[in-house]
Amino acid sequence: MPASTIREARFDDYPEISALQLRYGLEPKEYSEWKHLWVDNPIYQLTHSWPIGWVLENENKEVVGYIGNIPLSYEFKGQQLLATASHALVVDSRYRAYSLPLLSHFFNQMHVDLFLNTTVNAHASRVHELFRVRRVPVGAWDKSWFWITNYKGFLASLLVQKNLALLQPLIYPMAIGSQLQDMISRSIIKARKDEIEIRACNGFDERFEQFWNKLKCSLHHQLLATRSREVLEWHFKNDLEKNRAWVVTVEDGSEIIGYGIFCRQDNVELGLKRMGLADFQVLNGNIKLLAPILSWAFEQCCQENIHMLEVIGLQSEKQRVVDELQPRQRRLSCWRYFYKTNNNALAKGIQNSCVWDPCCFDGDASL
């Protein structure tokens, strides 16, 4: 095994980290967006000497491995928990044996209450399980539910994925056939939008802070990622500035009673334009508001020529609302969401599935 060493990552490692990601088919963030994960992160600003991650260097001091370490905040039974999400694990194929030591640095952080891995791929899944991580006990994190919102674009990306690009001239008749086949389910999801007024927002105003204060009080028994106005602004800042995110609300007078946030999750290699549900929260358990919110997003995807609208990992009651809208399904390459805690009391408290309401807001799934 080639000689190498592990050290804490620095911001000036970005050129080598991004080059490594590109070599292995990952799409690196722009430097300002990557740095934003920490320097503008409200939780990072409260911590001292927080490592932004770790890099693996070979004998020539070249970066051949990386794992990011993003601090987050969670609430559970009136207490604030310090959590961390692993981010963008990548290791040069010649140094794969060092994946375990890299992950050891991540999981050996003694001051962290909760470790989250929400974007695990098939290559890293087995390695993660060696650290006795647990699958999140709610939601099917190895499946996707989706609606096609632009048939020509969706089928073109599918042909690229199947190495059938020579069939591109057949896309138009194929799209017509698929659209006719989906007419019933499309009419069902579109019909739900008229049931209630949905309002689009440009950002997060003070009403979101009021909403969060009510939400965490009413769901104090659940494990919840912090959704203060400050955290929401940090989490979605880059996507909102680049028109890669939508924020919509349902209101009662001047107050927000529910919201949905959608983020672009494109597959650049396939040319697939995809919008995913990042977060959906409501007061008073009015989960049925999810239907008109998804219907609004469906029509918005159609208008903006986005190819598909996707939902992943919802708890059972929310999933039933999704199922009523007759989405398609696909199998993902592996289970995406794992967690671990070294706090015995916390481990016992969150082993019950009733305390979980996971979604793509968790970890780095929508960062």
Query: pLDDT truncated to tens, each residue of the chain (367 aa)?
Result: 677 999 999 999 999 999 999 999 999 999 999 999 999 999 999 998 999 999 999 999 999 999 999 999 999 999 999 999 999 999 999 999 999 999 999 999 999 999 999 999 888 888 887 899 999 999 999 999 999 999 888 888 877 776 655 345 444 444 444 554 565 566 667 666 666 899 999 999 999 999 999 999 999 999 999 999 999 999 999 999 999 999 999 999 999 999 999 999 999 989 999 999 999 999 999 999 999 999 999 999 999 999 999 999 999 999 999 999 999 999 999 999 999 998 999 999 999 999 999 999 999 999 9
Helix (H, G, I), strand (E, B), or coil: what is residue 160?
helix
pLDDT at 175: 45
pLDDT at 181: 52
User: Are both 4-135 and 143-331 of the same fold?
Assistant: yes
pLDDT at 163: 62
Beta bridge partners of 340: 115
pLDDT at 128: 81
Give the predicted TM-score (pTM) of the model.
Answer: 0.93
pLDDT at 126: 80
CATH 3.40.630.30 corresponds to the domain 4-135: yes
- Please tell me the CATH superfamily of domain 143-331, with its number: Gcn5-related N-acetyltransferase (GNAT) (3.40.630.30)
Query: Taking Cα atoms as reference points, which of 281, 288, 352 lies closest to residue 137?
Result: 352
CA distances from 279 to 153, 259, 299, 333, 362 (A): 25, 8, 18, 22, 9
pLDDT at 2: 74
- Domain chopping of the chain, boundaries: 4-135, 143-331
